[in-house]
Amino acid sequence: MVHVEPAHLVELALRNTPPTDDDAEALRHVERCDRCRDALRMMTRVVTAARTAELVDLPTAPPERVWHRITQGMSRESAPPRPPPRTLGRSTKRKLLAVVALAVVAGTVARRTLKRNV
Ligand SMILES: [Zn+2]
């Protein structure tokens, strides 16, 4: 049985584009396959959580002293980088959180896939 690629499951969970014939075929497989159904369910939950996250749920910028130490350490080797912006917009934070969440999901799926294939 050929399973749905993790990247395709992520796309299905995101639902950012109109469904294609490949999506329909993948969803038919998901209906019959416990493994892919569990993976899609987990990714969908992560996407939903990321999309409904409130600003208070998101990490805050580190204290100024942390950035100062980083720039001091790097300035010994090269020119110091510019500090990050003090605040991120709501949309940027949500996108960042979604990317982090999807990276976690992709890593989990990849680990599970590797375990099953070993
Ligand atoms: Zn499958």
Over residues 26-79, the pLDDT tens digits come to 999 999 999 999 999 999 998 888 888 776 666 677 778 887 887 787 777 655
In the reported structure, the alpha carbon of residue 78 is separated from the centroid of ligand 1 by a whole-number distance in angstroms of: 49
Residues 6+ apart with CB under 8 A from 44: 13
- For 15, left (φ over 0), alpha (ψ -120 to 50), or beta? left
Q: What percent of the chain has pLDDT over 70?
A: 69
Ligand 1: centre distance to CA 69 (Å) = 47
Q: What is the C-alpha to C-alpha distance for residues 24 and 45, in angstroms, rounded to an integer?
A: 20
Interval between CA 27 and ligand 1 midpoint (Å): 10
Q: Is the pLDDT of residue 9 over 80?
A: yes
Question: What local confidence, expressed as pLDDT, does residue 32 receive?
Answer: 97
Gap from CA of 85 to ligand 1 centroid (Å): 42
Spacing, Cα 31 to ligand 1 middle (Å): 9
The single-letter code of the amino acid at 66 is V
**Ligand 1 centroid from CA 38, angstroms:** 9
Give the distance (Å) from ligand 1 centre to CA of residue 37: 7
| Residue 15 per-residue DSSP state | T
The sign of the dihedral angle between the CA atoms of 35, 41, 43, 46 is negative
* Listed residues: CB within 5 A of ion ligand 1: 3, 33, 35-36
